[in-house]
Amino acid sequence: MSNRLTSFTNDGFTFDVTDEGPPEGIPVVLLHGFPQTAAEWSRVTPHLHERGYRTIAPTQRGYSPGARPSGRYAYRMSALVGDAVALIAELGAGPVHLVGHDWGSAVAWSTAAAHPDRVRTLTSVSAPHPMAFIRSLVTSSQALRSSYMALFQVPWLPEFAISRVFRAVESSSRPAVRRRALALSQMDGDQFDRIQRDVVDNGALPYALNWYRAMLIASPGGGAQKISTPTTHVWSTRDSALVRKGAELTAEYATGPYRLEVLDATHWIPEERPVELAGIIAARADGTA
């Protein structure tokens, strides 16, 4: 475990990896969400390192330059889970503490369900259990908040529109334009600039949108199963994308030790509340949750 992992391969693709912290520390695998890369965890990981954990954060399918297959079928959940399992196997350290945010949380849930032997504990951030999310669509305002997902099914237009917004903000000489963009996205300036650089300008956006376009493709990702893995779900009160109902229903799909943590933050918990999130991850990992 002393060698640093900078990449791994699966399904013929090469994925970039950020491997930091004590080399012999207990591994925590961190899965990023949309539209981000492994860099979304950069404010959380130092606090996990202080607690003795080694952090391994892959830049996932569609985001890593060496792992950008064309066509939505390549982004079905079973393929995304396969990438996570391949990374865990590459570590050679047995089951890991698995953490996911947003889409990374969806992959983490499905990985824990389909491969419980690979996951020691699970911390899901923002996105609830897949079945809890589906139920929340018909029992709350979640369907309204998720309407953008339907728009993302349209070919070409979403990536064109999103790219144009980022570039308009970049080229504008009016500070008010940037302030408005940050307010609407609920991001800070560093986060906004990083997404533009690593996702929009780097050509990842069309592939990242394929995660949404593959949502209705049936695959054995295990998303409907209950899990027995010790789990903590983290939801935030000012999340504009995900309502509390899904977070509350998630308890019904965890048969092992389970805890719901609620933070005062927007959807971007890893950037806004890194100290608290690191503490929650560590508490689940060391069994004190």
CATH code, 229: 3.40.50.1820
172 assigned to some structural domain: no
pTM over cut 0.95: yes
Residue-by-residue DSSP string for 43-109? TTHHHHHHTTEEEEEE--TTTSTT---SSGGGGSHHHHHHHHHHHHHHHTSSSEEEEEETHHHHHHH
pLDDT of residue 216: 87
Q: What is the pLDDT of residues 97-133, one digit of tens each?
A: 999 999 999 999 999 999 999 999 999 999 999 999 9
By percentage, how much of the chain surpasses pLDDT 70?
97
Structural domain total, the chain: 1
The verdict on whether omega for the bond into residue 35 sits within 30 degrees of 0, i.e. cis, is yes
Which residues of the chain are under the pLDDT cut of 50? Answer: 1, 220-221
Q: Is residue 237, in this structure, part of any structural domain at all?
A: yes
Determine the pLDDT at residue 1. 43
Residue 183 domain-assigned (yes or no): no
Q: Tell me if 275 is assigned to some domain.
A: yes
Does residue 14 belong to any structural domain of this protein? yes
pLDDT digits (tens, 9 = 90+) for 32-47: 999 999 999 999 999 9
Within a domain: 267: yes
Q: Which domain holds residue 232?
A: 7-142+219-285
Residue carrying structure tokens 């971007």:
268
